[in-house]
């Protein structure tokens, strides 16, 4: 696992990682400055890709969201989002990139797990075991 002195995840890497998720698309419903990453018309990540430091908001299980906020100063309640379910992550180099990738992936999985089975099947989605709680 990479250490906390990893190079910063930049906007290109963030966009690439989000769009690598099956069925993911990028839209700009809030204007050209805010990238919104969706799967099956549901948001799983939001970022103003031209900001420094870069931030990304992701969905999270409520209990885990609180634990992450307590553990990492770069993770705080979702900016302009439901603070129970969303965290905003500052990509300032203090978090290991694998953790950031995991949080984006977990957000995607939370969204997809709530979709109808036929949509999940079409995406070819398979959770780690029984769902995002594993």
Which domains occur in the chain, in start order?
13-123 (3.90.1150.30)
- Alpha-carbon gap, residue 55 to 90, rounded angstroms: 4
Q: Which two tokens stand for residue 88?
A: 């905003």
Strand order in the sheet with 35-39: 24-27, 35-39, 42-47, 54-59, 86-91, 75-77
Judge whether residue 131 has pLDDT over 50. no
What pLDDT band is residue 127 in, cutting at 50, 70 and 90? low
Q: Report the share of the chain in percent with pLDDT over 90.
A: 70
- Contact (CB, 8 A) for 94 and 9: no
């Amino acid at each position: 696992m990479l250490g906390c002195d990893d190079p910063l995840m930049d906007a290109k890497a963030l966009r690439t990682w989000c769009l690598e998720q099956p069925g993911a698309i990028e839209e700009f419903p809030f204007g050209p400055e805010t990238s919104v990453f969706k799967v099956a018309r549901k948001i799983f990540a939001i970022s103003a890709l031209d900001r420094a430091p870069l931030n990304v908001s992701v969905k999270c299980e409520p209990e885990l969201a609180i634990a992450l906020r307590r553990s990492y100063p770069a993770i705080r309640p979702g900016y302009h989002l439901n603070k129970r379910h969303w965290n905003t992550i500052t990509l300032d180099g203090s978090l290991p990139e694998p953790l950031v990738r995991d949080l984006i992936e977990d957000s995607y999985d939370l969204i997809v797990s709530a979709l109808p089975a036929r949509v999940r099947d079409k995406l070819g989605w398979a959770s780690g075991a029984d769902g995002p709680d594993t």
